[in-house]
C-alpha cells in the first residue's frame, strides 16, 4: 500500500515537472490592431480573434491572434497556465494568463479573448482544475460518487501554478466516505484558499433512494385503486336510488 502511494506521488511529481517544462515553451503570437468595435467582424472572417491585453500598471493593448494557433494553446494551457506572448512591436516575450475566452454559442468559434499580463515575482489567485484518478470500490458496488469540486482556487507565484491537481478516488469504499482538501497533496509553492475541511468528493447511498421511489409508486397505485373503488360505489348508489324512485312512481300510478 505504502509502495503504491510513493510510486503514485513520484509519477505525479514527474508529470508536473514535464508539464511545466513543456508549458514554459508555449508561445502565443499576436499583432497590434487598430480595428475596434463592430468592425472586428472583418478580423474574424480572416481567421483572427480580437484580443485585449491588460494588467496592473500597464497600458491596455488591442491585439489580434490567429484562431488556429490560439485554439491549440488554449486547449493545453486553459486559463491557469502561463503563456509567453510575443507581439509584433518589439518581439519581446511577455508572461500572461488567458483570463477569458468567449465562444460563439452555436458555431463554437472564438469571438474574443482577454489576456492578463502578470509579474513573475508576485503571487496571484487562480483556479486549477481537479482531475479525479483511479477507480472507487464503492462506485463499482453501485453507490453514487459525488464530485463536489471540479477546480480548486489557489494562491501562488506564476511559476508555481500547477497545470492540474490529481485526486485519487481509490480510497472511497463505503457510503459516507469522503475526500477532503486535507487528504490530498497540493504541489509545493501553491496554497489553497478554501479551508482544509472542504469536501472534494464523497460516496452516497443509492439503494435507499431506489426503495423510496418504489414505495412511492406503489402508494400512488393503491390510492388510485381506492379512488376508483369509491367512484364505483357512488355510481352504484346513484343507480339504486334511481331504481327505487321509479318503482315508487309506478306504485302510485297503480
Establish if 250 belongs to a structural domain.
no
Do 73 and 144 belong together in one domain? no
Do 73 and 133 belong together in one domain? no
* CATH at residue 161: 2.170.120.20
Do 140 and 176 belong together in one domain? yes
Establish if 170 belongs to a structural domain.
yes
Distance CA 100, CA 9 (A): 32
Averaged confidence pLDDT in the chain: 80
**The model's pTM:** 0.62
Establish if 238 belongs to a structural domain.
no
Establish if 175 belongs to a structural domain.
yes
Q: What is the mean pLDDT of residues 155-175?
A: 93
Do 130 and 114 belong together in one domain? no
**Tell me, what DSSP letter sits at residue 89?**
T
Establish if 3 belongs to a structural domain.
no
Do 105 and 135 belong together in one domain? no
210-248 per-position pLDDT tens digit: 444 555 555 555 455 444 555 554 545 445 555 444 444
| Residue 28 pLDDT grade (very low, low, confident, very high; cuts 50, 70, 90) | very high
Strands annotated E in 9-123: 27-32, 48-54, 61-66, 83-87, 93-103, 110-117
* CATH at residue 30: 2.40.240.10
Domain boundary among 118, 147, 162: 118
Do 169 and 102 belong together in one domain? no
Q: What is the mean pLDDT of residues 177-204?
A: 96
Range of the domain at 36: 17-118
Do 114 and 21 belong together in one domain? yes
Largest CA distance in the chain: 121
Domain boundary among 118, 136, 154: 118
Q: What is the mean pLDDT of residues 107-128?
A: 92
Establish if 99 belongs to a structural domain.
yes
Do 131 and 113 belong together in one domain? no
Distance CA 152, CA 191 (A): 10
Distance CA 27, CA 23 (A): 9
Do 32 and 110 belong together in one domain? yes
Do 57 and 139 belong together in one domain? no
Establish if 156 belongs to a structural domain.
yes
Query: Range with the lowest mean pLDDT among 89-103, 151-165, 186-200?
Result: 89-103
CA distances, 153 to each of 86, 138, 164, 205 (Å): 28, 28, 11, 29
How many domains are there within the chain?
2
Establish if 241 belongs to a structural domain.
no
Domain boundary among 190, 207, 224: 207
Do 22 and 112 belong together in one domain? yes
Do 110 and 165 belong together in one domain? no
Query: Range with the lowest mean pLDDT among 5-14, 20-29, 61-70?
Result: 5-14
Amino acid at each position: 500500500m505504502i509502495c503504491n502511494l510513493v510510486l503514485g506521488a513520484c509519477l505525479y511529481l514527474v508529470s508536473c515537472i514535464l508539464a511545466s517544462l513543456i508549458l514554459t515553451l508555449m508561445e502565443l503570437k499576436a499583432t497590434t490592431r487598430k480595428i475596434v468595435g463592430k468592425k472586428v467582424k472583418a478580423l474574424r472572417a480572416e481567421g483572427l480573434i480580437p484580443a485585449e491585453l491588460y494588467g496592473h500598471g500597464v497600458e491596455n493593448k488591442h491585439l489580434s491572434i490567429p484562431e488556429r494557433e490560439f485554439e491549440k494553446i488554449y486547449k493545453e494551457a486553459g486559463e491557469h497556465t502561463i503563456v509567453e506572448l510575443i507581439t509584433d512591436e518589439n518581439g519581446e516575450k511577455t508572461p500572461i494568463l488567458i483570463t477569458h475566452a468567449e465562444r460563439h454559442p452555436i458555431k463554437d468559434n472564438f469571438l474574443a479573448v482577454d489576456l492578463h499580463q502578470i509579474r513573475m515575482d508576485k503571487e496571484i489567485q487562480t483556479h486549477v482544475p481537479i482531475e479525479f484518478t483511479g477507480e472507487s470500490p464503492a462506485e463499482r458496488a453501485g453507490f453514487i460518487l459525488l464530485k463536489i469540486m471540479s477546480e480548486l482556487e489557489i494562491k501562488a507565484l506564476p511559476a508555481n501554478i500547477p497545470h492540474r491537481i490529481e485526486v485519487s478516488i481509490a480510497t472511497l469504499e463505503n457510503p459516507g466516505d469522503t475526500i477532503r482538501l486535507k487528504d490530498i497533496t497540493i504541489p509545493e509553492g501553491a496554497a489553497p484558499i478554501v479551508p482544509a475541511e472542504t469536501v472534494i468528493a464523497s460516496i452516497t447511498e443509492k439503494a435507499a433512494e431506489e426503495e423510496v421511489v418504489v414505495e412511492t409508486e406503489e402508494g400512488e397505485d393503491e390510492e388510485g385503486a381506492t379512488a376508483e373503488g369509491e367512484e364505483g360505489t357512488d355510481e352504484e348508489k346513484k343507480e339504486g336510488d334511481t331504481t327505487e324512485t321509479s318503482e315508487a312512481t309506478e306504485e302510485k300510478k297503480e
